[in-house]
Structure 1
Amino acid sequence: MTDPEIFEPLIRQFPSPLLGEQLGTWASRYTSSIALIDKDETLSYQALNERVDRLAAGLFTLGLHSGERVIVQLPNSCTFVTLLFALLRTGAVPVLAMPSQRAADIDALIALAEPAAYVIPGESHAELAKQVRDKHACLRHILVAETSHNERTFTPLFSLQGERCEWPHPDVADTALLLLSGGTTGTPKLIPRTHADYSYNFSTSAKLCEINRNSVYLAVLPIAHNFPLACPGILGTLSCGGKVVLADNASCDEVMPLIARKKVTHVALVPALAQLWVQAREWENSDLSSLRVIQVGGARLDSTLAEKIITTIGGILQQVFGMAEGLLCYTRLDDPRSTVLNTQGRPLSPYDEVRIVDEDENDVLPGKIGQLLTRGPYTIAGYYRAPAHNAQAFTIEGFYRTGDCVRCDEWGNMQVVGRIKEQINRAGEKIAAAEVESMLMRLPNIEDCAVVAVPDPLLGERICAFIIPPPVHSNIQQWREYLGNMGISLWKIPDQFEFLYHWPLTAVGKIDKKRLVALAAERYVENSR
């Protein structure tokens, strides 16, 4: 095993200095080339850099200084990117919140991060901002991005003025920004990403994904996510002189014409959104031929849906498996079709270390399923202000316990089987929810599904399958017969079927399986009456 300390020289020598300084380097290199496009404006690299300088000076004059945290809760826009770089330039630490988060989530984040400021989009978040400002003494400033906002108790973001000064020079190993963990514990966890590890993250990803000056990246997922921000995302695209198109609406009838107009070459999707895109091509006929790479990640992609993406949308499908905590796995652009359809790729860096272990954390045999442990040059060593959780989440040797159940093929490609906590214990039989989901996706009239374990007095846990959308003629018994004819063990066939039109989502945009469990229990009781 490699000592994590050897990674520091590696990331220090990488041509990526402080994140706050990098935009200036890119602006001097790409000057008048278009950097950002949103629904309201277009900015060149030079114009973006000048705007960042002005805002950074205003933030510094306001009293936001190096090391202070600032919660940023903005939609996809040029304003988001400008503010991100302005904060990095002053040495302040952005805490990236999701636009959909509301009072309970933001209150918990403020209690943890103790930010000096909170940036909101406008009127939609005004009441929330007042609530948290009155509760948390650490909040000195509420800044509002919307120029038409009339709330006098808030400070308009772009009204800030100041003289350009010499910016701080933190160490490349210092925390640059804090990302929100996608965990489901209910307790917020923040992920500290350093200048060095995040630069390595997006620069190495950009090279692997073949981003260049001709690339046009569409950011359609919320850019507070690590995936669209830096895998390679916005930062990776800008580092190569490419163009970033920012969409604040994922609706197919808006996004697909946008792809055609802007000649988008790269896009990142989650499986649920990819499913909608596939369905939309039945009626939406925009020219998507410019799309070169369609990344799908954030959750396990079923092979059936993967095949549909390739045949329906076109371009190269790239599966991405990773975490905001660090490790990223990609299928390569020249991988065989079978690898792209059936695996979630292999690690980004040759310096990534992975172990697949059993319940006692002994390495499993090649090809066997186990929990994934990892460490490497861009994987964190601990969560922010979470010593008790860190003691559980990291081994003594510094490996991060991901909680993902995977198997690895002979070429090093990961196949994600599920999460440890998503394993169903039905009458003593251990069943991976992802395995049942994969079987269901092969049945007729099922467009999407999610499987959860529901407490059961007789079985311990029963298998409940949620199906989208409700079929016109639902014959659950016929589905069970289909599964049986496929050779599926009887104990893996769902005990309960429920139907939804839309998935309940967590704050970070993943299917809220806790809500599904509660819903399954409620409906089971109702149907038993």
Structure 2
Amino acid sequence: MTSMLGGCTPWPEEFVDRYWAAGHWRGNTLDNLLRGWAQRHGPRTALVHGDTRITYAHLNRRADRMAAGFRLRGLRPGQRVVVQLPNVPELVIAMFALMRAGAIPVLCPVSLRAPVVSRLVRVTEAVGYVGPSTYDGFDHTAMAADIAAQGVFLRRVFTFEPTGASSAYGGLTVDPSGCHYFPLSSIDAPPDRAHAQSAGQVAFMLLSDNSTAVPEVVPRTHNDYACQARAAAELVSLTEDDVYLAALSAESNFALGCPGIVGTLSVGGTVVLVENSEPAECLAAIGRERVTLTSVTSADARRWLEVLPTVQADLSSLRLLQIGGAPPRGAPPIRPIAERLGAELGCRLQQVFGMAEGVLTLTRPDDPDETVLATQGRPFSPDDEIRVIDAEGKEVGDGEPGELLVRGPCTVRGYYRAPDRNARSFTADGFFRTGELARRTPDGNLIMTDS
């Protein structure tokens, strides 16, 4: 079986062999891929945040030096580190640096508070936390200190200082619980020999998309996430001339790898990071940075449409707008919004249904308008297996609603350290029960539905 972190469910060997033979898995780690991207695209701009511009060469150097700094501060291969940052370059740098140091980032939206973050620390036994000192009036360092005082795991806190931020813990280096505090900007050391790791190992962890319950921890390997981002990038013909706007939280699967940040970096494109996700701010960034594609939720799409008449920005560079997920239960259908938004923005639309667990279906840019407007597309890989079943577990016919089950090269086989949840959410033969209702069309596209 593939070498996996304890507490993870590996793919059975027959599936490992199948996914390697089909070329879905290619045996390179994400942090090592960054080295190759830097060699090919060194002087090109990788990240934009306000007036800050970071080239591929600089991004790779920063990741190298931060990785050495993390090792110098005592982080060891396999240890978990909760990363909770807004959409700033430090998020991307820290993610790659931790992977390069052999540690495992646990990516957590900056909006989440102590009940979820403390559970993440306990479940993952995270020894480190990377977050802002304060953000939007909330003291993240104080939260981390409280969590450290309650348990035996969290012992290193690395604080990013946004402009104008201050914290009651700003001058603290070690607290009574033995937790050490470091400015993230001080995590810098001459690069040393990188930790060798396998692409079959866990690269980072995401949070499950189940918003009605406490999220589970989703372990994603280098192999499966590189596969997902690469395939999504190929489906939208992403090139080095593209500019991707990360309007959603960069720690979400949608913005990170559908194709998102990782997919854009894989082809030498530019990623624009915005902290303020308000439609007017995002639309202004599209005009300012000549953005060619971005991703929004169905709720965001409605808000964008409302403000479009008041926006003066030149949006002619935008070629593709991804709309993610099905409308929430009880919400109006997305089709009328999508039709108007595509027409008023003058760009192509792509519907996407994705989950942190690795499920990903997309419409294709060359699909008929009816498919793009009426469905959430189909899987990117012929090795993605789809079932739509009724309450008794029997597959239903085309056009009939049922629960969506998925198995494939990017869909995990289990949550991290959650045996009870895994017994409910995964079938004995490895299909992930999404908990979502869907109908399959005769041509293989999916329509997500609430009934």
TM-score when normalising by structure 2: 0.89
Q: How far off is 1:255 after superposition?
A: 2.0
1:13–1:393: structure 2 CA closer, same or farther, 3 Å change rule?
Answer: closer
Q: Does 1:47 align with 2:58?
A: yes
Of 125, 128, 138 in structure 1, the residue corresponding to residue 143 of structure 2 is 128
1:395-410 map, 5 Å: 395-410=427-442
Which one-letter code corresponds to 2:213 in the other structure? G
Q: Does 1:63 align with 2:71?
A: no
For residues 416 and 254 of structure 1, what CA distance do their matches in structure 2 show? 30
Q: Give the paired residue count.
A: 418
RMSD: 1.7
For residues 156 and 56 of structure 1, what CA distance do their matches in structure 2 show? 14
Of 256, 259, 269 in structure 1, the residue corresponding to residue 286 of structure 2 is 259
For residues 151 and 279 of structure 1, what CA distance do their matches in structure 2 show? 45
1:174-185 map, 5 Å: 174-185=201-212
For residues 188 and 35 of structure 1, what CA distance do their matches in structure 2 show? 31
Of 88, 99, 105 in structure 1, the residue corresponding to residue 116 of structure 2 is 105
Which one-letter code corresponds to 1:111 in the other structure? R
Q: How far off is 1:103 after superposition?
A: 1.4
Q: Which moved more, 1:88-97 or 1:280-289?
A: 280-289
For residues 249 and 21 of structure 2, what CA distance do their matches in structure 1 show? 31
1:77 equivalent in structure 2: 88
CA offsets 1:199-222 (integer angstroms, 9 cap, x no match): 101011100011101000000100
For residues 134 and 163 of structure 1, what CA distance do their matches in structure 2 show? 32
Per the alignment, in what secondary structure is the counterpart of residue 146 of structure 2?
A: helix
* 4+ residue runs over 6 A deviation: none
For residues 4 and 389 of structure 1, what CA distance do their matches in structure 2 show? 23
CA offsets 1:448-506 (integer angstroms, 9 cap, x no match): xxxxxxxxxxxxxxxxxxxxxxxxxxxxxxxxxxxxxxxxxxxxxxxxxxxxxxxxxxx
Per the alignment, in what secondary structure is the counterpart of residue 310 of structure 2?
A: coil
1:108-257 map, 5 Å: 108-123=119-134, 124-146=139-161, 149=166, 150-153=170-173, 154-257=181-284
CA offsets 1:416-463 (integer angstroms, 9 cap, x no match): 012xxxxxxxxxxxxx3xxxxxxxxxxxxxxxxxxxxxxxxxxxxxxx
CA offsets 1:236-259 (integer angstroms, 9 cap, x no match): 000000000000001233222211
Of 428, 445, 448 in structure 2, the residue corresponding to residue 413 of structure 1 is 445
Of 316, 323, 331 in structure 1, the residue corresponding to residue 363 of structure 2 is 331
**Given that residues 116 and 214 in structure 2 are in contact (C-alpha distance below 8 angstroms), is that contact kept between their aligned partners in structure 1?**
no
Percent same amino acid at aligned positions?
40
Which one-letter code corresponds to 1:130 in the other structure? A
Higher Cα radius of gyration: 1
For residues 145 and 22 of structure 2, what CA distance do their matches in structure 1 show? 41
For residues 111 and 268 of structure 2, what CA distance do their matches in structure 1 show? 31
Which one-letter code corresponds to 1:77 in the other structure? V
1:341–1:175: structure 2 CA closer, same or farther, 3 Å change rule?
Answer: same
1:319–1:16: structure 2 CA closer, same or farther, 3 Å change rule?
Answer: farther
Flag the structure with more relative contact order, 1 or 2, with Cα contacts below 8 A and sequence separation at least 6: 2
1:358-437 map, 5 Å: 358-418=390-450, 432=451
For residues 172 and 159 of structure 1, what CA distance do their matches in structure 2 show? 29
Q: How far off is 1:151 after superposition?
A: 3.3
CA offsets 1:98-153 (integer angstroms, 9 cap, x no match): 11001111111111111010111123312212211211211110110117653323
For residues 321 and 51 of structure 2, what CA distance do their matches in structure 1 show? 25
**Given that residues 11 and 200 in structure 1 are in contact (C-alpha distance below 8 angstroms), is that contact kept between their aligned partners in structure 2?**
no
Q: How far off is 1:162 after superposition?
A: 2.9
Q: How far off is 1:43 after superposition?
A: 0.4
Q: Does 1:292 align with 2:319?
A: yes
**Given that residues 26 and 223 in structure 2 are in contact (C-alpha distance below 8 angstroms), is that contact kept between their aligned partners in structure 1?**
no
Per the alignment, in what secondary structure is the counterpart of residue 111 of structure 1?
A: helix
CA offsets 1:358-384 (integer angstroms, 9 cap, x no match): 111111122211111110011001000
For residues 22 and 130 of structure 2, what CA distance do their matches in structure 1 show? 31
Q: How far off is 1:40 after superposition?
A: 4.5
For residues 146 and 23 of structure 2, what CA distance do their matches in structure 1 show? 42
**Given that residues 11 and 377 in structure 1 are in contact (C-alpha distance below 8 angstroms), is that contact kept between their aligned partners in structure 2?**
no
1:346 equivalent in structure 2: 378
TM-score when normalising by structure 1: 0.77
2:176 equivalent in structure 1: none
Per the alignment, in what secondary structure is the counterpart of residue 167 of structure 1?
A: coil
For residues 109 and 261 of structure 2, what CA distance do their matches in structure 1 show? 16
Q: How far off is 1:8 after superposition?
A: 4.2
Of 100, 117, 128 in structure 2, the residue corresponding to residue 89 of structure 1 is 100
Per the alignment, in what secondary structure is the counterpart of residue 56 of structure 1?
A: helix
Which one-letter code corresponds to 1:302 in the other structure? I
**Given that residues 206 and 253 in structure 2 are in contact (C-alpha distance below 8 angstroms), is that contact kept between their aligned partners in structure 1?**
yes
Q: How far off is 1:7 after superposition?
A: 3.5
Q: How far off is 1:161 after superposition?
A: 3.4
1:394–1:15: structure 2 CA closer, same or farther, 3 Å change rule?
Answer: closer
Per the alignment, in what secondary structure is the counterpart of residue 112 of structure 1?
A: helix
1:21–1:258: structure 2 CA closer, same or farther, 3 Å change rule?
Answer: same
Q: How far off is 1:12 after superposition?
A: 6.8
Per the alignment, in what secondary structure is the counterpart of residue 152 of structure 1?
A: coil
Per the alignment, in what secondary structure is the counterpart of residue 282 of structure 1?
A: helix
For residues 312 and 272 of structure 2, what CA distance do their matches in structure 1 show? 20
For residues 346 and 171 of structure 2, what CA distance do their matches in structure 1 show? 47
For residues 122 and 166 of structure 1, what CA distance do their matches in structure 2 show? 30
For residues 362 and 6 of structure 1, what CA distance do their matches in structure 2 show? 29
CA offsets 1:298-331 (integer angstroms, 9 cap, x no match): 4436212111211222200100012110121101
Which one-letter code corresponds to 1:255 in the other structure? C
For residues 17 and 378 of structure 2, what CA distance do their matches in structure 1 show? 22
For residues 311 and 207 of structure 2, what CA distance do their matches in structure 1 show? 34
Q: How far off is 1:273 after superposition?
A: 1.1
